[in-house]
Amino acid sequence: MTTTRPHHRHVTHAAHGAPTVAHAMQPAELRISADTMVDRALDLIRAADADHAILTSEDGRGVGVVRRAQLAPYLIRSWYTERTPIRNITHDRTPFARPAMSAVAAAASMRLHGLRIWAVADADGRVVGVLTPESLRAVLADAPAELTAVA
């Protein structure tokens, strides 16, 4: 079981061009191996005071996002939480956003799929950050209107 808190580099707005996911993403701070048992994952998320965790495979690639709210049914500990890997419970397995994706397209996709958090992965599948509706709104609010218009 591995947990990591990677460093995050801040991406500034491009002088020319529409805002991208890279402009809006925040650090993906808590990562938990998908092999971690549910009860241990609960402890890690609570200890980190996190709202979510990125689930990773053995090779470090992202496999999903689990939110604290999705773990609510498992708060009453039982034999099930001690023997079940977190990868086997309901979590967001949606395709990840890419850093070069338009922030407008990402916001529309998050609304369409009802996502409160969306992992951002590089070409190798490694999670480099997360998006929230709030982070996208902040980036889009700062951009000129002609760059954020939906086609």
CATH topology of domain 19-143: CBS-domain (3.10.580)
115: tokens are: 């996502």
Could you tell me the pTM of the whole model? 0.79
pLDDT at 3 > cutoff 80: no
- For residues 21-49, give the mean pLDDT: 94
Distance CA(117)–CA(115), nearest Å, equals 5
- What's the pLDDT band for 145 if we cut at 50, 70, 90? low
